[in-house]
A and B are shown apart, each in its own frame.
Chain A
């Protein structure tokens, strides 16, 4: 099994099925982040739809997933394609939850 990328606790999975429904144009979309506000940010304009913790994105022009902490995770290049971006799973009490970073 091969997944496109992981940046910290964020998984970026390339989707083969391109029929992903309606996506809206989004600029500088951000994800999660720790208590210091160090979020993960996709620079540039993409199309996206957020379904709670899972975000579907369409990258038409190469974009970058940047971690805002100066000495944090390295940048991940997103080549054109459709992806699902979601946090890693963690076991909670009674149900699973997303890893918060």
Chain B
């Protein structure tokens, strides 16, 4: 029984992690042999033979459409059996490489690994095996989140493109033309992460100019050092600009959220957000609020 990893085995563990992460972004072309080997195996799990018809398509959307057309039923997702399984596949791959698993014991995992290195996912039907090709491009930020500052984060082989800002799915416009947003459009975005993505993509100074915001109050929490600013827009709307507590990666993004128009101080606005049972006036009268934990 393995009780302690050697230094070399620990090093190999880190190397395999990086290997799988870097593999994600490789736009590999489908390998017919590896694909057929996996399909034969996976259909055998259900006591079936791999159908003669194998279709390789350019995106999950194309796969879903084909599956819907073939079955006459609305398909809503792929099998989620492909590149997304890298976590546990790498785990067993590692134990095979250090000799804990025999070749026979690791055979299926390695067959699957070879498949996911040249394909993305599947929709397996009785009459047709649909295989989704890997994207032509997949872009991430330093933390490994899907991200493209001025370009798609995913470019599928069928021409479809996806956009994300540091892990938040957004539309194309937020990435390619953020400053085309009008003030009304900006304020109409209800999702604060999406709004933050637009703000960071377009720039916070642009946001302040766009909204015509004037700072009326600021406050720094003496215990956490988090900063808050209350802004008044020309139409009377009030926004609270606030700094996030440190995230797991140490970053502290900024958020901008609309608060009650009767609020006068940043400290009271912070309390108003947290306590829906209080009115703006009650929060102004006593703006103190302490959290035991802020994360």
> Which residue of A is nearest B270, CB measured?
A88
**How far apart sit A82 and B145, CA to CA, in the bound complex (Å)?**
35
- On chain A, the residues within 8 Å of B251 by CB distance are 71
Across the interface, do A5 and B169 meet the contact criterion of CB distance under 8 Å?
no
- Whether a CB of chain A sits under 8 angstroms from the CB of B119 is no
Contact B168 A35 (CB under 8 A): yes
Contact yes or no, B276 A36, CB < 8 A: no
Asked if B264 is an interface residue, CB under 8 A from chain A, the answer is no
Cβ–Cβ contact B248 & A1, under 8 A: no
Is A18 interfacial (CB-CB < 8 Å)? no
Specify which of A6, A35, A69, A89 is in contact with B293 (CB 8 Å cutoff). Answer: A6
Question: Which chain A residues in 56-101 approach chain B with CB under 8 Å?
Answer: 67, 69-77, 86, 88-92, 96-97, 99-101
Asked whether B288 lies within 8 Å of A73 as measured between CB atoms, the reply is no
Residues of A within 8 A of B191 (CB): 34-35, 100-101
Interface size for B (C-beta < 8 A) is: 43
Chain A interface residue number, banded: 35 or more
What 1/0 flags go to B191-221 for Cβ under 8 Å of A? Answer: 1111000000000000000000000000000
**A1→B271 contact, CB < 8 A:** yes
- Residue on A nearest B248 in the bound complex, by CB: A71
Taking a contact as CB atoms under 8 Å apart, the answer to whether A70 and B248 are in contact is yes
Selected from A2, A36, A67, A86, the residue in CB contact (under 8 A) with B168 is A36
B257 contacts partner chain A, Cβ-Cβ < 8 Å: yes
Contacts of B272 in A (CB 8 A): 89
Q: How far is the CA of A100 from the CA of B175 in the complex (A)?
A: 20
Q: Is the CB–CB distance between B247 and A1 below 8 Å?
A: no
What are 28 inter-chain pairs, A to B, with CB distance below 8 A? A1-B286, A3-B292, A4-B292, A5-B291, A5-B294, A6-B293, A34-B194, A35-B169, A35-B191, A36-B146, A38-B167, A69-B145, A70-B143, A71-B145, A71-B248, A71-B249, A73-B244, A74-B295, A75-B295, A76-B295, A88-B257, A89-B276, A90-B257, A91-B238, A99-B257, A99-B273, A100-B190, A100-B191
